[in-house]
Structure 1
Amino acid sequence: MRRRSAARRSAGWLIALVLLLSGSLISPAGPAAAAPHRPATAESAAQSAAQSTAESAASAAEVRGFVDGHSHLFSYEAFGGMLMCGKPFDPDGISEALADCPDHHPNGELAWFENFTRTGSPTGTHDPAGWPTFRDWPAHDSLTHQQAYYTWVERAWKGGLRVLVNHLVANRQLCAIYPLRRNSCDEMSTLRLQAQRARELQDHIDAENGGPGRGWFRIVDDPAQARRTVKAGKLAVILGVETSEPFGCRQILGVPQCTKAQIDRGLDEMHALGVRSMFVCHKYDNALCGVRFDSGTQGAIVNLGNFLSTGTFWKARTCTGPQHDNPIEPGGVLPDQIAGWLPPGVSLPAYPPAPHCNTRGLTSLGEYMVQGLVKRGMLVEIDHMSVKAASRTLELLEAARYPGVVSSHSWADPGFFARIYALGGMITQYGHDAEHFVAEWRRGAAERQQHGVSGYGYGLDVNGMGRLPGPRAGSAANPVRYPFTSFEGVTLDRLRTGERVWDVNADGVANYGLVPDWVEDMRLLAGDQIVRDLAAGAESYLRTWEAAAARRQT
């Protein structure tokens, strides 16, 4: 195989954008999240009659099961389609679906992106063989290999998963810079393709289970359909969107590149595709809102991506209020080594002392998009918004008494959580390791109790370039013992695919099929109460969605 040395020398530019996809290499450190507020206060009594009716109907038919509020089953089609290796399914079988990227052969030496995201160095090797040996991947810290093959998702469903929010994801800038691609870099085209792939997976699973509608994987368009699906013991899959320039709404040197008409057309198209939850901005500033910063060297890298996308670096001030964005760099200056990646004549920006707040908030176009989501009864995701943008978004939702607000993977300032709960919104915690997840679950208990919150959820961010939960340190003294009894009495032994057998004690959540094992690991640390709270998560999410959908303007 010919070495693509020029492309590999451009590694710095791609690394500059690795974090534009999700929470990424440093797991978000926000507090554990919970389910939505169940109205029990004078404030909540003022909710609209439509919302109250929806909640009463929901109470009469509560469901049980876990909710994953944030994952990416079809991200392999994003970023040009050649950055992520493997697929959640292939019509020709598992050997085709779980194959490594062509440029990772023969020994992973050229897989600099995988190497960098896994070890911090662009050099390294791995065994590229997937099926049937899986010697080196999937793994909890391997970010470019498929971690959500559909039989692994099936095991998670059997182990208690009942609601899965699958975010369609795209990033034009990352696609444009990565040297290999087979798909368009147009974000809307990428979202359409992933929505198509989701329907194809549903059809594939249906065919395996006796025909249309018979499968366990059901894409749902409204909360009533979701509730029926969960009551039937199947997996309700809700489509969301996490993209950096929705509807082409980038901004260049502060000038928006989209209009209100484009936003309306885009929202109508996404709703028609079945999308019911959307981010307004993600990783770098766009024409709709400013973003919540990344920190440290990662932050410097993403900041460079912001420059490449918008023509400007992040602009920050020293915060004076209780909420703040992540610090750009502890010393207020970007690392000197980034200077070599900058175009000629461009200087590194300097920043005031931390705590830092993005000077950009929710723009007038951003307000129009939030109002458009409300009009259509869709869920507004506030993760990745700057505190200025998130605060204004919550003001708009509070004025409208709109409950459809979500923080799905711990990328919002915890100071906003009380406002989210009070509205009736949903918060799900990033998929940390068992000890960290349990600690955050405990830490937020008093606030959840104060707001009448029951139920709990996670946002695993699978295939979102964020590490999955690793093995618990010291688990040898108190390991998960196989077989174990999972949700509703289901017995699960070690997960086996091909020749590989995984054990959560040694492997952590190497793939999505090990989520029930992770929950069992947390049960060993926290007792049955954490499982009961997680089992109430699906009901909590559906109540938030029902209350939002009841406000849809027809």
Structure 2
Amino acid sequence: MRSRRRASMIATVAAVICALLAGGGGATATERPWYEPVSRPSPDAEIGVTGAPFKGTDARGRVRGFVDTHNHVMTNEAFGGKVICGRPFSASGIADALKDCPEHYPDGGGALLENLTVDSDGRHDPVGWPTFRDWPSHTTLTHQQNYYAWIERAWRAGQRVMVTNLTSNAVLCTIHVRDRGCDEMESIRLQARNTRELQTYIDTMYGGPGKGWFRIVSSPADARRVIKAGKLAVVLGVETSEPFGCKQTFDFARCTTADIDRGLDEFKALGVQSMFLCHKFDNALCGVRFDQGATGTILNVGQFVSTGTWWQTEACKGPQKDNPIGSVPVPAIENWLPPGTTVPKYPSGAQCNVRGLTELGEYALRGMMKRGMMVELDHMSVKAAGSALDLLEARRYGGVISSHSWMDQAWIQRLYALGGFIGSYGMDSESFVRDAGATAALRRQYGVGLGFGSDFNGLGSHPTPRGADAPDKVTYPFRTFSGGPLVDRQVTGQRTWDVNTDGGAHYGLVPDWIEDVHRLGGDDVLHELLAGAQSYLNTWSRARGRKAPPS
């Protein structure tokens, strides 16, 4: 017995000596830090961030980190599956995930939506992996920008909450090349399922269920646990044009209160925590805030095709204003109209949507509050948003969000007074700093942080590069806040991205963009962004009827 105990002790001491000689802080060759994968696909995108991601909360239970209030990880499954080319992951590897749609070959001429709305010559190199000559870029609308490894880079550099919106649009699906049906609810179900499959895919790299850094959360408390462990809390939202089939045709609602209740219950079962009542087209719930330029013309045609009615305007009755309606001719889309039908001409000057929050919209809003969901005001007409705020204030309901600068700015104080949260659109760094400065006094007054809404794969614009010769440009490598991980240029295949010349080309450049914002805006705007995750969770807590922790 004594000899066996002595042999065991010798073996233990030998193991410790071997570990020290190997340079580890007690870790053996088979052990890995919690933030490193057990296995990673090869080849794959490089992360370009070294060092341990921060974890934990402070003594008062507050989290730190950035929050993206508006992203679209699974939009490749939306609009009939052929608008966004490429996928955020593939079991077959990066070459399969990051490839263009067959319709874009040989020279990009088949990218209908992108060629109609982006100022370009209508051509691009369709090859993705490994060369990425033309995409993703800060101007692209129809190529994957949310590859999982790019999201991982943002998490490692300090992001702690990401809202991914499940989205679709039946009209865009109908007029575009597609490989599936156009029912928006079916698309939302598929996107929710595939987001969970992405979580499983990442878990597998890290050793099994629950091990990965990508964690879909179902409550503020769940999110705080995830963030305390140093991981990324992923929140599911819905941004679609016909939720629960609630479209309107010739001013006739195509849904009932029973449809709304069934739909909201299904969304809760899918894990959805926030929702837009209307998006892009007027529906049976509310009128929308208009789009501008060529996009506005395209959407107004879509509004007519979907509802049988054009956007209808009136002189604005208050300081709030909807966006000007797009008036740029788009013959390729207007040719879809019946003979003799033309896009209306609208009066110049401020015009507002005549449609506000309908009775069914009020019912849906009350249903969201009953279920503790966060209400998105963006994309509502000012008439609808004003009515929604009246109802929220009457109930003292603080679970209200403006996630990507699509709400009239005159409503900001009302939203903050309720306990809501704002993510400014992820625009170019100079504009972001300017817009953040314009509302900083209100955030100080209400003690809230700031988020950003990246809208990647949301058919929107992304940060433009400031240029290789810009003053105080980002220099690589750089440290994240408080001497954290070291961030170098992002490399995928044969392509190296630099935020100074590439802007917001894909999600992996979010840390670089934040560094650019920090250089231009100083420590104040950085600290507001770092307080964003905590403030967002406070608003979510208010939606659940719980007192938020101190800020």
Flag whether TM exceeds 0.5 (same fold): yes
Distance 1:492 1:58, change over 3 A: closer
Distance (whole Å) between structure 2 residues aligned to residue 166 and residue 522 of structure 1: 23
1:475 Cα offset (Å): 4.5
Tell me the alpha carbon deviations over residues 434-484 of structure 1, each in whole angstroms, 9 at most, x when there is no partner. Answer: 10000111111122233x233111000011011221111574332211110
Distance 1:60 1:483, change over 3 A: same
Matches within 5 A, 1:330-479: 341-450=336-445, 452-473=446-467, 475-479=469-473
The SS at the match of 1:119 is coil
The SS at the match of 1:527 is helix
1:490 to 485, 496, 503: 485
Distance (whole Å) between structure 2 residues aligned to residue 295 and residue 146 of structure 1: 24
1:378 Cα offset (Å): 0.1
Tell me the alpha carbon deviations over residues 283-318 of structure 1, each in whole angstroms, 9 at most, x when there is no partner. Answer: 110000001112244322221111111001011111
Greater relative contact order (CA < 8 Å, ≥ 6 in sequence): 1
1:497 Cα offset (Å): 1.2
Distance (whole Å) between structure 2 residues aligned to residue 195 and residue 503 of structure 1: 32
1:197 Cα offset (Å): 0.5
1:525 Cα offset (Å): 0.9
Matches within 5 A, 1:12-51: none
1:158 to 149, 152, 156: 156
Distance 1:508 1:334, change over 3 A: closer
- Pairing 1:509–2:504 present: yes
The amino acid of 1:325's aligned partner reads D
- Pairing 1:199–2:196 present: yes
The amino acid of 1:485's aligned partner reads R
1:4 maps to which residue? Answer: none
- Pairing 1:93–2:93 present: yes
1:106 Cα offset (Å): 2.1
1:126 to 115, 124, 127: 124
The SS at the match of 1:354 is coil
2:168 to 151, 167, 170: 170
CA contact (8 A) 2:279 2:288 kept: yes
2:185 maps to which residue? Answer: 188
Matches within 5 A, 1:198-277: 198-277=195-274
2:17 maps to which residue? Answer: none
1:125 Cα offset (Å): 2.3
CA contact (8 A) 2:297 2:329 kept: yes
The SS at the match of 1:501 is strand
Distance (whole Å) between structure 2 residues aligned to residue 99 and residue 233 of structure 1: 32
Q: TM-score, normalised by structure 1?
A: 0.85
Q: Aligned Cα RMSD in Å?
A: 1.9
The SS at the match of 1:278 is strand
2:65 maps to which residue? Answer: 65
Distance (whole Å) between structure 1 residues aligned to residue 503 and residue 342 of structure 2: 42
1:149 maps to which residue? Answer: 147
- Pairing 1:521–2:516 present: yes
1:182 Cα offset (Å): 1.4
The SS at the match of 1:166 is strand
2:297 maps to which residue? Answer: 300
Distance 1:511 1:297, change over 3 A: closer
1:334 Cα offset (Å): 7.4
1:80 maps to which residue? Answer: 80
CA contact (8 A) 1:220 1:226 kept: yes
Distance (whole Å) between structure 2 residues aligned to residue 190 and residue 257 of structure 1: 19
Tell me the alpha carbon deviations over residues 214-266 of structure 1, each in whole angstroms, 9 at most, x when there is no partner. Answer: 00000001110001111111000000000000000000000000000000000
1:358 Cα offset (Å): 0.8
The amino acid of 1:144's aligned partner reads T
Q: Which runs of 4+ in 1 moved over 4 A?
A: 333-341
1:37 maps to which residue? Answer: none
2:277 maps to which residue? Answer: 280
User: Which of these two proteins has the greater Rg computed from alpha carbons?
Assistant: 2
The SS at the match of 1:277 is strand
The amino acid of 1:99's aligned partner reads K
Q: TM-score, normalised by structure 2?
A: 0.86
CA contact (8 A) 1:377 1:551 kept: no
Distance (whole Å) between structure 2 residues aligned to residue 149 and residue 80 of structure 1: 20
Count of residues in correspondence between the two structures: 489
CA contact (8 A) 1:509 1:518 kept: yes
Distance (whole Å) between structure 2 residues aligned to residue 288 and residue 256 of structure 1: 8
Distance (whole Å) between structure 1 residues aligned to residue 347 and residue 429 of structure 2: 37
1:118 Cα offset (Å): 2.9
Q: Which runs of 5+ in 2 are unaligned?
A: 1-56
Distance (whole Å) between structure 2 residues aligned to residue 517 and residue 503 of structure 1: 8
Distance 1:474 1:91, change over 3 A: closer
Tell me the alpha carbon deviations over residues 491-519 of structure 1, each in whole angstroms, 9 at most, x when there is no partner. Answer: 01111111111111111121100110111
Distance (whole Å) between structure 2 residues aligned to residue 86 and residue 297 of structure 1: 25
CA contact (8 A) 1:480 1:504 kept: yes
CA contact (8 A) 1:334 1:349 kept: no
Q: Which runs of 5+ in 1 are unaligned?
A: 1-56
Distance 1:349 1:229, change over 3 A: same
